[in-house]
Structure formats: C-alpha cells, structure tokens
C-alpha cells in the first residue's frame, strides 16, 4: 500500500518504520524538510512536502501536534480535496496537559471529527492514540501473550485499511464505532497520558479482553 504521512515526529517514526518493514511504500511529509528527510532515511521511506504526502498515499496518517492540525491540513491541500476518498488515520491526542483536560471542537467534537471537517470526502478513522510511541517500536506489541488491542472509531469505508495497518504491526483491531465515538478514544488516552506524566512506564497500555476480541 502507498502510505503518506503528515508529520515527522515520534509517532511517524514508530508507526511508519513498522509499515516499511511490512512492505508498504511510505512517503513522510513534514513542514520542516530536513527533519522529514532525516526521518525518512532512518526508516527506509521517501520524504516530501505535506501536499506530496497527501497526494501520494492511498492511506494517510495524520501525526502532528494539535496546535499544528489546521495549518498541516491546509498545507496538505485537504480543504481542496487531496484526501478525498482516502483512508485518513488520526493518531492525535486532544489534551491540555497543563490540567489534563480534553480539548474539543464545536461543543464536544473530537480532533478526528475536526480532521473530517477540514478534509472533505476523507474516510477518517481514529486509531493508535492510546499508547506511547515506544509501544509501536515493539515488534510485535504483545502483552502477556496477547497482541495489543487497538480501538478504532470512524468511517466504515476507512476501516478495512485501518485494520490492515494495525495487523501489519502485529496488533489487533477493535471496532469502537463510528466517528462520533472518536471523542471517547481521545478521552481514554488522557488517562494514559496523565499516568505517563506521573511516572508510569512508556509501555503502559489498556488491555481489552473479551471472548469476541479473542476470536477476531
């Protein structure tokens, strides 16, 4: 699969390295060209502009800090339709770490819903936001003999690609509903982030268990 990535930070390095290892063709787009180029070289990917990454990918990962979301999507051409018809994975977290409160849009909406608003026609799926980047350096992310469950919430059209990208990292997708449910995944992540800030190890994760999950 061709995967474009918007952002050249820690999540991109952790996730995209695994996708390159799984055989995908990855183009890292960053606002800081040298940073994107260095990262791409380290993981065996290509580098380019944010717009090139948006145009390149059949799937596109958005991995930028919340403060840069709007600017990044505009630079990627999202409002003009560069992400239309594509699976857009949002791994971001909408949290104010000064008091661990949730940042929301338009009276309660999620970051993922904001991406869908800024990227008309994109099939947005929230995923990978619940665990520290170091978890994605585990090959595979297995805890007590179980692959990590990765909740996803978003557009049905985007879920097959999201599931593939999760299983390619050795984890297990867990369907948590449509895009309206992404706000709950963003809230759950704040529990983890607060614990990490309190000294919990980076490999701390929620571990979902159910008979149905084991069968998937």
Three-state DSSP state, 95: strand
Least separation, in Å, of the C-beta of 214 and ligand NAP? 25
Q: Does 30 bind ligand NAP (CB under 6 A)?
A: yes
Binder to ligand NAP among 23, 67, 144, 211 (CB under 6 A)? 67
What are φ and ψ of residue 109, in 5° steps?
Answer: -70, 160
Q: Does 129 bind ligand NAP (CB under 6 A)?
A: yes
Longest CA pairwise span in the chain (Å): 47
Map residues 168-207 to x or -, x wherever contact with ligand NAP holds by CB under 6 A: ----------------------------------------
Q: Does 8 bind ligand NAP (CB under 6 A)?
A: yes
- Residue of closest CB approach to ligand NAP: 9
Torsion angle of alpha carbons 12, 13, 19, 23, nearest 10°? 130
Map residues 81-110 to x or -, x wherever contact with ligand NAP holds by CB under 6 A: ----------xxx-----------------
Least separation, in Å, of the C-beta of 21 and ligand NAP? 18
Q: Which is nearer to ligand NAP, 72 or 181 (CB)?
A: 72
Q: Does 142 bind ligand NAP (CB under 6 A)?
A: no
Task: For residue 178, count other CB atoms closer than 10 A to its CB.
Answer: 13
- Quick one: which segment of 18-26, 28-36, 79-87, 170-178 binds ligand NAP (CB under 6 A)? 28-36
**Cα separation of 134 and 6, whole Å?**
19
The tally of CA atoms less than 13 A away on the side-chain side of residue 117 is 11
**Cα separation of 43 and 29, whole Å?**
14
Give start and end residues of each alpha helix (H) in the chain. Answer: 10-21, 33-43, 50-56, 69-75, 111-118, 159-167, 182-197, 211-215
Using CB under 6 A, list all residues that contact ligand NAP.
Answer: 7-12, 30-32, 35, 63-68, 71-72, 91-93, 129, 132-133
């Amino acid at each position: 699969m061709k995967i474009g990535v918007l952002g050249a930070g820690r999540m991109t390095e952790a996730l995209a390295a695994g996708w390159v290892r799984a055989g995908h063709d990855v183009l890292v787009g960053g606002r800081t060209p040298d940073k994107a180029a260095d990262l791409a070289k380290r993981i065996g990917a290509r580098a380019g502009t944010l717009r090139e990454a948006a145009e390149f990918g059949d799937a596109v990962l958005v991995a930028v800090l919340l403060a840069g979301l709007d600017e990044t999507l505009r630079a990627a051409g999202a409002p003009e339709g560069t992400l239309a018809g594509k699976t857009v994975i949002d791994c971001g977290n909408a949290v104010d770490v000064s008091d661990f409160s949730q940042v929301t849009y338009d009276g309660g909406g999620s970051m993922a819903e904001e991406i869908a608003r800024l990227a008309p026609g994109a099939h947005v799926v929230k995923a990978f936001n619940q665990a520290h980047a170091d978890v994605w350096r585990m090959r595979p992310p297995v805890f007590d003999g179980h692959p990590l469950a990765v909740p996803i919430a978003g557009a049905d059209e985007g879920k097959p690609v999201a599931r593939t990208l999760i299983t390619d990292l050795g984890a297990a997708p867990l369907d948590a509903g449509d895009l309206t449910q992404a706000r709950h995944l963003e809230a759950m992540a704040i529990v983890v982030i607060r614990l990490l800030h309190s000294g919990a190890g980076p490999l701390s994760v929620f571990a979902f268990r159910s008979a149905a999950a084991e069968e998937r």
